[in-house]
Amino acid sequence: MRKGSNHRTIKRRREVFLKKICITLALAGIVLTGSIVGGSRLVSAHDNAAKESVEYKYYKSIEVSRGDSLWSIAKEYMSQDYDSIYDYIDELKQMNHLDSDDIHAGQYLTVSYYEANFQ
pLDDT tens track for 42-81: 665 555 555 677 889 999 999 999 999 999 999 999 988 8
What's the confidence (pLDDT) of residue 87? Answer: 94
Q: Of 37, 52, 67, which one is at a domain's C-terminal end? A: 52
Provide the whole-model pTM: 0.55
As a whole-number percent, the residues of the chain with pLDDT over 70 amount to 87
What's the confidence (pLDDT) of residue 112? Answer: 92
40 and 65 both lie in a single domain = no
pLDDT tens track for 77-111: 998 888 999 999 999 999 999 999 999 999 999 99
Task: State which residues form the domain around 86.
Answer: 56-115
CA angle 10/7/12 to nearest 5° reads 35
64 and 20 both lie in a single domain = no
63 and 25 both lie in a single domain = no
What's the confidence (pLDDT) of residue 109? Answer: 96
What's the confidence (pLDDT) of residue 11? Answer: 84
60 and 109 both lie in a single domain = yes
Structural domains counted in the chain: 2
Long-range interactions of 67-75: CB distance < 8 A, separation 24+: 67/105, 68/103, 68/105, 69/101, 69/103, 70/98, 70/101, 70/103, 73/103, 73/109, 73/111
